[in-house]
Amino acid sequence: MPRVMNTLLLACVLSATTAQAAQPLTEHDEWQVISLYPPHGVYQAELLPQLVTAVEGLWQVQGSDGEPLLRSVDSLASMNVIVAQQDEVRFRRIIEKGELNAAGMQRLQALVEEHPLVQRRLVSADAQATHLWLRLKKPATAEGLQQLSDHLAASLNAAGHQCVVAANARGPLAGRYMTQWQYDTPQRADGVAALQALATAQQQLSNAPGAPDSEHGRNYSALNLLSYLGGILGGELLDANGLPQSNAALAQMYMMAESLRSRDLQALARPDFRQLQLVVLGHKAPLNAPPVSNYQLTHTSIWQASARDYRVLDCRAQGLVTSENE
């Protein structure tokens, strides 16, 4: 009898362990965000080079152990994206210091609104604020984010601004979430079929209760980036629905991105399509992950505007009074 009981107990433990392993991992993401309100909006030719210098300075900020705090930063001042410019395709900084004349500023605004990884993720709909998405080398803390925010403020103030890290101010991402889902399949998948499954999932997500409106965010995946790349490359890479015409067209776009040393596409979908990412930004409450045909949800990362993970840096005259009384 004891042997039978032990066998039953072992079977129960193994069953529970297997069930637990099958559940997708959910965790709060290690992203932290600073929303910056410049004095007169984002698209100011004098401000943008100062912002590039200030953001570059964040790499010098050290923790108590003497090691740099920052692991990565996504911002207007630091990101590189693929663009079509003067009959060539380039992988370039969003802000090019030598292209801030009137025509260059128009191109910059168009790039922000057209590129699926920029848009509301980096600039608010009214163009009054820009967002810096930071990741630290160690687990995120409120103290680390405060240190980086203070350093950014000091750098901009040295350039003649009057910026303050606003306590309890309501920034454009206040009350908002960013959620990233990872889907996996055990074998190499057909690329076009995977993108069709993503398109269905994204349409379902757009229609879900609580989905963000266009003013605050959107959902995006490799499909959106491929549609953007196909549009700037021209030819007949895309069909009428914005999907790659074939797996050959899909491979051509991956090769182009790889030749320009852009990793954005592979981060959203591996070339063998065994792993996909689906991201939604700007929702006001947690959302359920939509199913993706032939894939299993394996990981969920959630960022929420919180006291630990969100700061507002206000450089506007009387900005603090306005934001705190909203």
| 143 and 216 part of one domain | no
The closest alpha carbon to 281, from 137, 177, 157, belongs to 177
| 74 and 168 part of one domain | yes
* Helix residue ranges, H only, the chain: 2-22, 47-57, 102-114, 119-122, 142-158, 191-206, 222-233, 247-259, 264-268, 319-324
**What pLDDT is recorded for position 181?**
97
pLDDT band with cut points at 50, 70 and 90 for residue 3? very low
Q: Is residue 7 part of a domain?
A: no
Average pLDDT of every residue of the chain: 88
| 34 and 128 part of one domain | yes
**What pLDDT is recorded for position 24?**
65
Q: SS3 helix, strand, coil % of the chain, rounded to 5?
A: 40, 25, 35
The closest alpha carbon to 293, from 195, 188, 187, belongs to 195
**What pLDDT is recorded for position 233?**
85
| 153 and 297 part of one domain | no
Please state, in angstroms and rounded to a whole number, the distance separating the CA atoms of residues 177 and 280. 8
pLDDT band with cut points at 50, 70 and 90 for residue 23? low
- In percent, the amount of the chain with pLDDT more than 90 equals 75
Give the mean model confidence (pLDDT) for residues 190-219: 95
| 135 and 260 part of one domain | no
CB atoms within 10 A of CB 170: 16
Q: Minimum mean pLDDT among 2-6, 55-59, 171-175: which range?
A: 2-6
Q: Minimum mean pLDDT among 20-24, 64-68, 124-128: which range?
A: 20-24
| 169 and 181 part of one domain | no
The closest alpha carbon to 271, from 247, 296, 292, 245, belongs to 247
**What pLDDT is recorded for position 87?**
74
The closest alpha carbon to 293, from 202, 179, 180, 178, belongs to 202
**What pLDDT is recorded for position 321?**
42
**What pLDDT is recorded for position 10?**
40
**What pLDDT is recorded for position 84?**
85
Please state, in angstroms and rounded to a whole number, the distance separating the CA atoms of residues 23 and 33. 29
| 167 and 247 part of one domain | no
Q: Given a cut of 70, is residue 244 above it in pLDDT?
A: yes
| 271 and 126 part of one domain | no
Q: Given a cut of 90, is residue 166 above it in pLDDT?
A: no
Q: Report the domain count for the chain.
A: 2
Q: Is residue 52 part of a domain?
A: yes
Q: Is residue 10 part of a domain?
A: no
Q: Minimum mean pLDDT among 72-81, 96-105, 226-235, 260-269: which range?
A: 226-235
Domain that holds residue 188: 175-304
| 51 and 144 part of one domain | yes
**What pLDDT is recorded for position 168?**
65
Give the mean model confidence (pLDDT) for residues 30-43: 95
Task: Read off the pTM.
Answer: 0.88
Q: Is residue 193 part of a domain?
A: yes
| 37 and 90 part of one domain | yes
Q: Is residue 1 part of a domain?
A: no
Q: Given a cut of 80, is residue 274 above it in pLDDT?
A: yes
Q: Given a cut of 70, is residue 14 above it in pLDDT?
A: no
Q: Is residue 36 part of a domain?
A: yes
**What pLDDT is recorded for position 167?**
67
Please state, in angstroms and rounded to a whole number, the distance separating the CA atoms of residues 122 and 31. 14
pLDDT band with cut points at 50, 70 and 90 for residue 29? low
Q: Is residue 11 part of a domain?
A: no
**What pLDDT is recorded for position 86?**
72
Give the mean model confidence (pLDDT) for residues 42-68: 95
Contacts of 103 (CB under 8 A, 6+ apart): none
| 227 and 321 part of one domain | no
Q: Is residue 103 part of a domain?
A: yes
**What pLDDT is recorded for position 28?**
56
DSSP conformation letters of 155-209? HHHHTT---EEETT---TTTT-EEEEEEEE-SS---HHHHHHHHHHHHHHHHTST
**What pLDDT is recorded for position 110?**
94
Q: Minimum mean pLDDT among 158-172, 220-234, 268-282, 299-313: which range?
A: 158-172
Give the mean model confidence (pLDDT) for residues 217-227: 95
| 167 and 83 part of one domain | yes
**What pLDDT is recorded for position 5?**
38
**What pLDDT is recorded for position 318?**
61
What is the tens place of the pLDDT at every residue in 56-100?
A: 999 999 998 999 999 999 999 999 999 987 778 889 999 998 999
